[in-house]
Amino acid sequence: MRLNFITEKLELYYKQYCEQGSENTFNGFTDFFFDKLNKLPLCKQLLEEIAKKHEIKEEDFEIRQGKCIYEFLIDILNKGEEYYVAYCYKYYYFLRKQKERGYNAGETYYDDVKWTEKGVKEEGDKVTLFKTDFIRPIVNYLTGNLSSESVILYQLQKYKERVERFKSIRYSSNLCELSLQRDMALFLYDQHLDYWKEVDTCDGRIDFMIGGNSKVYGTILECNNKPYIVEVKYLDKKEKLSSIDDAKGQLRIYMEQVPSYGCLLIYTNDETDYELSDWSDNQITVISVYIGDKTPSRRHYRPAKG
């Protein structure tokens, strides 16, 4: 899914939502709006991540009900924009659940979000302020945090699913990193992602450089936006796990030369899960792609021990 397509969809959904002026259908169209957000996988992922990052519980909403509005609002805002977005996102689902259970079922969401009233009683003002002060910050957060890097990582995860689900690559004794790279290159091409393959540097060749407005002058790479550097590794059962550290070390060298994000893509016929271990860190994402013969139901993943 291309980045510009997602951001255009976001703005279209918000515009359509703002055009709905009826108070009687307000809750329903608010629900429709959030349901549409969740159908954009990257948006859902970003919102779930921010919700998980900030521990806001239902009890927090219940405790604050009936208290002075601005006392807790100032407290929320003082924790930063990201916290406010997480609070609004979780608060919406709290209100939705409450109404589905029959609590305050006849009230609109903006009746509960008291800080969007601005001290006036006009319904139209309440509706407008709810859309601009409660919903719009969520949209702004998504458009501000959706980047070419997040789209690339999403596509790499889809590639993993494609290989594992449909067995588009079958393990054989003739497999090599070159043939695996070719399969990935075909996938990236089909997804309309710009990439450079086997980019020369003074310390070796980068397997894939995806995204980023990059130009190559000899061995110097100048990037306006950070690209994703992907190093491909084929790990046979007989190989030692130390070879992963070697591959990560090489990837870090490339990342020092080229300001970038790094991904180590491991093809393996082993059932070891490298993603759920300490192999990932803040700088490098590790994705393992299983190419063995076992079906998903017959695999028994084991965390990698470094």
- Residue with more model confidence, 51 or 282: 51
Q: What is the pLDDT of residue 284?
A: 83
Nearest CA to 33 among 117, 136, 126?
136
Please list, in sequence order, all residues whose beta carbon lies within 8 angstroms of the beta carbon of residue 198, skipping any fewer than 6 positions away. Answer: 205, 206, 207
Query: CA angle at residue 102 from 100 to 105, to 5 degrees?
Result: 85
Domains of the chain: 3-145 (no CATH), 148-303 (3.40.1350)
Q: What's the distance, CA 40 to chain centroid?
A: 10
Q: What is the pLDDT of residue 219?
A: 38
Q: What is the pLDDT of residue 302?
A: 59
Q: How far is residue 97's CA from residue 108's CA, in Å, rounded to a whole number? A: 13
Q: What torsion do the CA atoms of 249, 250, 256, 261 make, to the nearest 10 degrees? A: -90
Tell me if 109 sits within 8 A of 130, measured CB to CB. Answer: yes
Look at 70-74, 159-163, 260-264 and tell me which has the smallest mean pLDDT.
70-74
Averaged over 106-119, what is the pLDDT?
81
What percentage of the chain has pLDDT greater than the value 70?
A: 81
| Residue 45: its H or E element | helix 41-53
Look at 90-94, 129-133, 249-253, 298-302 and tell me which has the smallest mean pLDDT.
298-302
Q: How far is residue 246's CA from residue 241's CA, in Å, rounded to a whole number? A: 9
What's the one-letter identity of residue 47? L
Q: Is the pLDDT of residue 300 over 70?
A: no
Q: What torsion do the CA atoms of 119, 128, 130, 121 make, to the nearest 10 degrees? A: 30
